[in-house]
């Protein structure tokens, strides 16, 4: 496969490195959080509430912050604030003694994510040539996952040296957090946007187009069955992988696979219809979740968990490339806001319902439910006609 003719824009590279260091800080902690929560008295339902509410808050903020970023001459201020908040709050997990304290800190962490995410994706699109946007989004997600791979390695080495040092490790997460804040504050350069909105603020529902809303319908159905990945770690523990150090090692390999996959599929997204790749990703998700419902050995669970990286590779670059494809350039921030709002707000019922079903009926019913919703979303996506931007009707309307 030929490489793109021009290098990625400086802002795209810098935001990739920002996500790298941010995820080093985040993923030093994330694989340990389910076991940590269980150790301080939280159940699976509480884990669902913590993750669901935190992500729902982030999603609501992504909507408003994305729309507001379209009105600003520069999106940089939202990014600096959004990266600084988690950098200061995340290390406080090391001082918590009850699950509600973790809930408050996670919510604050997600608050920062909500402020920055839509503006960041819009800036990546603004800074990229049309034939490089899949590659740009793939590069960004690859750097994100690379940081998510390094974080568990650092945590693994630290806990090997200090086996009872989980709380100290959480406090040390402030170091990469400060690095990413300084990187964005000092390094991000952005030309003023002449198309920034001047009229009073409003959500431009009709201007985004009917095909965009049908796309979000499919995204919403899929997201309802896409619960927190923490439940996969819980499932692996049930299958016999109880040592925290081995969970960290698995988390590292998992993110390395996601990183490589995003680079490859990101480039492919600029050459193949992104909706085809996204449908493939959702089918992979359904197969992995169905498999997790049936397996009963640790090795089978590990194999499925690593194959789960294929879902991310085939889904993340095409999802965002389709947003850019379906909406006008001056509404990208708002469009990404709606996209992140829908994917995140559905995580509240998704994680809570998944945790409730898991607690009440067991893993089989919970994972089969997730697989079924993914297949339903794939069918809905197949009914949308993406090929001609000028069309206002699509096959969903015909049905």
Residues 157, 158, 161, 163: is their CA dihedral positive or negative? negative
Three-state secondary structure string covering the chain = CCCCCCCCCHHHHHHHHHHHHHHHHHHCCHHHHHHHHHHCCCCHHHHHHHHHHHHHHHHHHHHHHHHHHCCCCCCHHHHHHHHHHHHHHHHHHHHCCCHHHHHHHHHHHHHHHHHHHHHHHHHHHHCCCHHHHHHHHHHHHHHHHHHHHHHHHHHHHHHHHCCCCHHHHHHHCHHHHHHHHHHHHHHCCCCCCCCCCCCCCCCCCHHHCHHHHHHHHHHHHHHHCCCCCHHHHHHHHHCCCCCHHHHHHHHHHHHHHHHHHHHHHHHHHCCCCHHHHHHHHHHHHHHHHHHHHHCCCHHHHHHHHHHCHHHHHHHHHHHHHHHHHHCCHHHHHHHHHHHHHHHHHCHHHHHHHHHHHHHHHCHHHHHHHHHHHHHHHHHHHHCCCCCCCCCCCCHHHHC
242-287 pLDDT, tens digit per residue, is 776 777 788 788 888 988 888 888 888 888 888 899 999 999 999 9
> Which pLDDT tens digit goes with each residue over 28-66?
887 788 778 877 777 767 777 777 677 777 778 888 888
CA neighbours within 13 Å on the CB side: how many for 329?
13
CA distances from 219 to 54, 82, 142, 211, 380 (A): 19, 25, 22, 12, 9
Is the distance from CB of 112 to CB of 80 less than 8 angstroms? no
Residue 290's pLDDT band (cuts 50, 70, 90)? very high
pLDDT of residue 163 exceeding 60: yes
Residue 277: its pLDDT value, please?
93
Do residues 19 and 184 make contact, with C-beta atoms less than 8 angstroms apart?
no
pLDDT tens-digit map of 314-367:
998 899 889 988 888 788 888 888 998 888 778 778 888 888 898 889 889 999
Any idea what the Cα angle at residue 61 is, between residues 56 and 67, rounded to 5°? Answer: 135
Domains recognised in the chain with CATH numbers:
10-189+206-398 (1.20.1250.20)
Q: 186-217 pLDDT, tens per residue? A: 888 877 666 655 655 666 778 888 899 999 99
Structure tokens at 284: 């992979």
For residues 251 and 351, what is the distance between their CA atoms, to the nearest angstrom? 20
Residues 4-10 have a mean pLDDT of 72
Q: Is the pLDDT of residue 373 over 90?
A: yes
């Amino acid at each position: 496969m030929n490489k793109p003719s021009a290098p990625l824009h400086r802002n795209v590279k810098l935001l990739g490195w920002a996500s790298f260091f941010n995820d080093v800080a985040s993923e030093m902690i994330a694989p340990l959080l389910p076991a940590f929560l269980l150790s301080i008295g939280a159940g699976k339902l509480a884990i669902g509430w913590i993750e669901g509410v935190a992500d729902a808050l982030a999603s609501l903020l992504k909507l408003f912050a994305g729309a507001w970023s379209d009105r600003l001459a520069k999106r940089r201020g939202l990014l600096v604030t959004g990266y600084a908040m988690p950098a200061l709050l995340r290390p406080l997990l090391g001082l918590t003694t009850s699950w509600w304290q973790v809930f408050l800190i996670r919510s604050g962490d997600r608050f920062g994510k909500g402020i920055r995410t839509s503006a960041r994706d819009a800036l990546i699109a603004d800074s990229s040539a049309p034939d490089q946007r899949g590659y740009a989004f793939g590069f960004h997600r690859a750097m994100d996952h690379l940081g998510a791979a390094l974080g568990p390695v650092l945590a693994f080495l630290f806990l090997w040296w200090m086996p009872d040092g989980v709380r100290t490790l959480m406090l040390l997460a402030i170091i990469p957090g400060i690095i990413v804040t300084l990187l964005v504050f000092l390094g991000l350069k952005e030309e003023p946007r002449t198309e920034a909105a001047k009229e009073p603020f409003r959500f431009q529902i009709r201007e985004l187009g009917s095909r965009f809303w049908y796309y979000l319908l499919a995204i919403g159905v899929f997201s309802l069955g896409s619960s927190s990945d923490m439940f996969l770690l819980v499932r692996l523990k049930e299958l016999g992988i109880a040592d925290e150090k081995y969970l960290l090692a698995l988390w590292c390999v998992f993110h390395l696979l996601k990183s490589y996959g995003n680079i490859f599929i990101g480039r492919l997204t600029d050459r193949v219809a992104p909706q085809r790749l996204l449908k493939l990703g959702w089918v992979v998700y359904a197969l992995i979740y169905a498999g997790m419902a049936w397996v009963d050995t640790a090795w089978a669970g590990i194999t499925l968990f690593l194959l789960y990286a294929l879902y991310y590779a085939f889904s993340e670059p095409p999802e965002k490339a389709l947003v850019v494809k379906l909406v006008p350039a001056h509404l990208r921030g708002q469009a990404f806001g709606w996209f992140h709002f829908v994917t995140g707000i559905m995580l509240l019922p998704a994680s809570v319902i998944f945790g409730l079903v898991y607690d009440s009926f067991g893993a089989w019913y919970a994972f089969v439910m997730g697989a079924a919703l993914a297949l339903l979303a794939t069918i809905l996506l197949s009914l949308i006609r993406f090929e001609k931007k000028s069309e206002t009707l699509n096959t969903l309307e015909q049905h």
